Amino acid sequence: MSQTRHVPVMLQRCLDLLAPALEATGSEAPVVVDCTLGLGGHSEALLAAFPRARLVALDRDKEALRLSGERLAPYGDRATLVHAVYDELPEVLERLGIPKVQGVLFDLGVSSMQLDEAGRGFAYAQDAPLDMRMDQSTGIAAAEVLNTYPPGELVRILRAYGEEKQAKRIVSAVVREREKEPFSNSARLVELIRDALPQAAKRTGGNPAKRTFQALRIEVNGELGVLERAVPAAVRSLAVGGRIAVLSYHSLEDRLVKQVLAAGAANTAPPGLPVVPERYQPRLKLLTRGAELPTEEEVAENRRAAPARLRGAERIREDER
């Protein structure tokens, strides 16, 4: 697996957002957490750009940890790589004896390695076993979801996680086909979706299987539930002056990130108070106006950057005890 294919998305903008927190000159080395290590592109850039910083990097995928471990080896003990899902951040920091951090980066979605390794079953463009687990040592694979979930639950998943308008039609076809023979590979599912969709639905939005694959991946990995816990936990882990940057790749992720950051940046005082007490003041300051998009040049060079949405915030106040 070549690492040259892996181009970190919106890399310079992420570094710029985090820089003021990681360049601060205190006696302690600033700590930055890469919650989604993947192949280590963002992590390597953080270590190179901020020579005083210590990196803690998390990934649930053991193969990603192995490959990025090789890549980050030159940085020695400045990099601590941990096998963990990113909602486990508080436990990881506690175990490492780190009370607060200066920077947190999330690059959500599927890593380049998982997409490029055919055997993982993430990509609808090549035939592979329907697995889609980011950590292949635990949990149920996508094939089991397709073969065992009740039809109503499958429809809910496709609608909620894939925003698939044709969910009922696709699920009817899945249920009919799985009774003949259980699903095991991605090509059969892609073909079924193509056949199930009306012509008009096939003309827009790229590969017709894209939304179904996204929905299955989110279900298999519990991605939205994990994210719902992880972003507030990451905000709580920030020291005052610390910064968070989050790259999302679909509207469900971005909406969730937006809600957490907006809530942190809101004044929570009851209306009509002449002076707002400290405890109601915002804890965060938003660093991006809405979600920032990659430049046209970046998308031309790296098509995987196209759906990216970047949001950032700075911690400006401690939580009330």
For 285-310, the pLDDT digits (tens) are 999 999 999 999 999 998 889 999 99
**Residue at a domain's end among 220, 254, 275:** 220
Average pLDDT over residues 91-116: 84
One domain for residues 247 and 153: no
- Between CA 225 and CA 219 the distance in angstroms is 9
Q: Which domain holds residue 206?
A: 119-220
Nearest residue to 253 (alpha-carbon basis) of 232, 277, 284, 227: 227
**Residue at a domain's end among 188, 220, 252:** 220
**Residue at a domain's end among 181, 198, 220:** 220
One domain for residues 275 and 150: no
- Between CA 218 and CA 251 the distance in angstroms is 13
- Looking at residue 270, its pLDDT comes to 85
Strand 54-59 versus strand 79-83 pairing type = parallel
Instruction: Estimate the share of the chain in helix, then strand, then coil, as percent rounded to the nearest 5.
Output: 50, 15, 35
**pLDDT tens-digit series, residues 56-76:** 999 988 888 999 999 999 999
- Between CA 186 and CA 167 the distance in angstroms is 17
Average pLDDT over residues 161-185: 95
- Between CA 304 and CA 70 the distance in angstroms is 24
Does residue 2 belong to any structural domain of this protein? no
> Which parts of 181-209 fold into alpha helices (H)?
186-196, 199-202
Both tokens assigned to 135? 């950590």
Q: State residue 157 phi and psi, 5-degree precision.
A: -65, -45
Does residue 273 belong to any structural domain of this protein? yes
One domain for residues 32 and 105: yes
> How would residue 118 be classed by pLDDT, with cut points 50, 70 and 90?
low
> Which parts of 101-222 fold into alpha helices (H)?
112-116, 142-148, 151-162, 167-180, 186-196, 199-202, 210-221
**pLDDT tens-digit series, residues 218-246:** 999 888 999 999 999 999 999 999 999 99
CATH number at residue 186: 1.10.150.170
Q: Which residues are annotated as a binding site for S-adenosyl-L-methionine?
A: 40-42, 59, 86, 107, 114
One domain for residues 167 and 289: no
Does residue 143 belong to any structural domain of this protein? yes
One domain for residues 269 and 295: yes
Both tokens assigned to 18? 């985090």
pTM of the predicted protein model: 0.84
**Number of structural domains found in the chain:** 2
One domain for residues 98 and 242: yes
Does residue 40 belong to any structural domain of this protein? yes
Both tokens assigned to 244? 């968070």
Candidate from 64-73, 163-172, 312-321 with smallest mean pLDDT: 312-321
Does residue 3 belong to any structural domain of this protein? no
E strands of 211-317, at which residues?
238-248, 284-286, 309-315
Does residue 321 belong to any structural domain of this protein? no
One domain for residues 216 and 289: no
Length of the chain: 321
CB 101 within 8 A of CB 31: yes
Give the CA radius of gyration of the chain: 21
CB 235 within 8 A of CB 284: yes
CB 67 within 8 A of CB 1: yes
How many CB atoms are closer than 10 A to CB 129?
Answer: 15
One domain for residues 205 and 246: no
- Between CA 268 and CA 15 the distance in angstroms is 31
- Between CA 242 and CA 316 the distance in angstroms is 8
CB 197 within 8 A of CB 208: yes
- Between CA 152 and CA 66 the distance in angstroms is 39
- Between CA 48 and CA 260 the distance in angstroms is 30
Q: How large a percentage of the chain has pLDDT more than 70?
A: 90
- Between CA 134 and CA 113 the distance in angstroms is 11
Q: State residue 177 phi and psi, 5-degree precision.
A: -75, -35
Nearest residue to 57 (alpha-carbon basis) of 84, 91, 75: 84
